[in-house]
Chain A
Amino acid sequence: MSIVLDVRDVWKSYGELQVLKGVTFSVGEKEVKVVFGPSGSGKSTLLRCINMLDPPDKGEVLLKGQSLMEDGVNLTMMRARIGMVFQQFNLFSHLKALDNVTIGPQRVLGLEREEAVDRAHVAIEQVQMTDWIDHYPAQLSGGQQQRIGIARALAMDPDVVLFDEPTSALDPELIGEVLQVMLDIAQAGTTMIVVTHEMGFARAVANEMLFIDDGIIVETGTPKHFFTAPENERVRQFLHRLEVLYGGQESVEQ
């Protein structure tokens, strides 16, 4: 299995605050990595460091062997190969759903309009939003907006897609439709890094889970490992709290 993304000893601080303290992991082709951990532990910062929206202070990020931190790399073209899905969807409010998806292929990849539209239709089909392509973001529910957000990332045909708590801004009854889409694209072979606390999703598709706390990866393992025998006390406490919050049916089995 070839390595798609290699994150090596990434450090990041904001002023005095040291947020990431040496994070290392890699993602292979068609792998799904689930990142979880307490709020403020640096998960979003890690994702922003990976696609250089916020360049790391130190360390290395390689996409298919090519460093993103070397001088002279075309950052925007590299970013085009790393998709990102946001907690708050961040759709472009002046564009209809279809154009939210075509704008990247058209403006960044330089495709003709028809080609971009074809591509967008495929991506929109994948997230089951075909009936809604003429709607503006404000006319869509949160779940629908997030599915368009996912289609926007997929239409770029990225090497890897980063998800930053894609369901945590949604009303409970809308979470399911988004998770279903994420399951579908994971099973279709999309390489993904997903920050989420949806343990059912993790159990279903994660090749590996990473528990991050206070800027470092504390424990890694398969879902089975985490749900049966987590080693670290902090992990156990955290999973227990999730269970209390969200109900037990899909988290810890002691």
Chain B
Amino acid sequence: MQERDLPSLLVFIITAGLPATLLLSVVGLGMGFLIGVALALIRVYAEEDISLLAQAYENLFRGVPVLVLMLLFLVSTGWPAFFSAGLALGLRSGAYQSQIVRGAILSVSESQMIAAYSIGMNRMQTARHIVLPQAFRLALPGWSNEYAVVTKDTAWAGAIGVLDMVKASDYLVFEDPVLFLPAILAITLIYFVLTYPITRYAGEVMSKRLRSLGLGGDY
């Protein structure tokens, strides 16, 4: 990390740091999706005590800084920093995605479930064909938000040694602040380009479309 002029520093940030950022984001979101959907289904459909366990999981992972989770996994598993960071991001995102999906499931109108039972569907079929397809659409704005959260929070991984964009330049904070400023501005801009179009699209265009289909009056 000896880049001492801005162009080569930017190239280094993008070629060395950006892939880690993107990969961590995908891993965190994907793992969080699987955990989140499972937890949401448990909280809505499972027995009381199992549901309480799922709730405890949510509270736990929402109550601890993601960097502390990363450090904890790093020192307790002995895995490479990248895996510890991905694990922390995924487990924590699962807690948030569970809430997103659960909220969406609960906002599917009960009258449609009754209609489904009235044509002879059982609970499983009603969940599979009526509730979940609507819930997944209703969850889109929440998911786009979570995408932005996870993507931005990949930046914490630098603190446990993952070479992401911030890590690729942060040694300059103290060594060469004049060079550091434009570099960190560029990184900030890259994050904005990664997150804003998607949250904007899902937040506005998508919720408008959902409303026009009579879905998600509350979003």
Chain A interfacial positions (CB closer than 8 Å to B) = 51, 53, 76-84, 86, 88, 90-94, 103-104, 107-108, 136-138, 149, 152-153, 156
Instruction: Return chain A residues, CB-CB under 8 Å to B212.
Output: 138
CB pairs A–B below 8 angstroms (12 shown): A82-B118, A84-B115, A86-B115, A90-B109, A91-B112, A92-B116, A92-B130, A92-B134, A103-B129, A108-B121, A138-B213, A153-B119
Query: A51 is contacted by which of B118, B133, B213, B214 (Cβ under 8 Å)?
Result: B118
Instruction: Return chain A residues, CB-CB under 8 Å to B115.
Output: 84, 86, 90-92, 149, 152
Q: B111 and A94: CB pair below 8 A? A: no
Nearest first, the 3 closest Cβ-Cβ pairs linking A and B are: A80-B120, A138-B214, A90-B115
Per-residue CB proximity of B200-219 to A under 8 Å, as 1/0?
00000000000011110000
Query: A93 is contacted by which of B118, B125, B134 (Cβ under 8 Å)?
Result: B134
Q: A76 and B122: CB pair below 8 A? A: yes
Instruction: Return chain A residues, CB-CB under 8 Å to B196.
Output: none
If the complex has contacts A90-B111, A90-B112, A94-B213, are A84 and B118 also in contact, measured as CB distance less than 8 A?
A: yes
Q: A93 and B122: CB pair below 8 A? A: no
Decide if the interface of chain B is mainly helix, strand, loop or mixed: helix
If the complex has contacts A88-B111, A93-B215, are A83 and B118 also in contact, measured as CB distance less than 8 A?
A: yes
Per-residue CB proximity of B116-138 to A under 8 Å, as 1/0?
11111110010001100110010
Chain A min CB distance to B209 (Å): 11
Q: Which of B109, B120, B134 has the most CB of A within 10 A?
A: B120
The number of residue pairs between A and B whose CB atoms lie closer than 8 Å in the complex comes to: 77
Instruction: Return chain B residues, CB-CB under 8 Å to A76.
Output: 117, 120-122
Q: B214 and A107: CB pair below 8 A? A: no
Chain A min CB distance to B74 (Å): 43
Per-residue CB proximity of B14-33 to A under 8 Å, as 1/0?
00000000000000000000
**Once the chains are docked, how many angstroms separate the CA of A65 from the CA of B152?**
64
Q: A77 and B120: CB pair below 8 A? A: yes
Residues of chain B from 99 to 123 with CB closer than 8 A to chain A in the complex = 109, 111-112, 114-122
Instruction: Return chain B residues, CB-CB under 8 Å to A103.
Output: 119, 129
A107-B125, A108-B120 known, 20 other contacts, Cβ within 8 Å: A76-B121, A76-B122, A78-B120, A82-B118, A84-B115, A84-B119, A86-B111, A86-B114, A86-B115, A92-B134, A93-B215, A94-B137, A104-B120, A107-B121, A108-B119, A136-B214, A137-B214, A149-B115, A153-B118, A156-B120
Instruction: Return chain A residues, CB-CB under 8 Å to B130.
Output: 92
Q: B119 and A93: CB pair below 8 A? A: no
**Once the chains are docked, how many angstroms separate the CA of A109 from the CA of B23?**
45
**Once the chains are docked, how many angstroms separate the CA of A82 from the CA of B117?**
11
Q: B118 and A107: CB pair below 8 A? A: no
Shortest Cβ distance from A109 into B: residue = B120
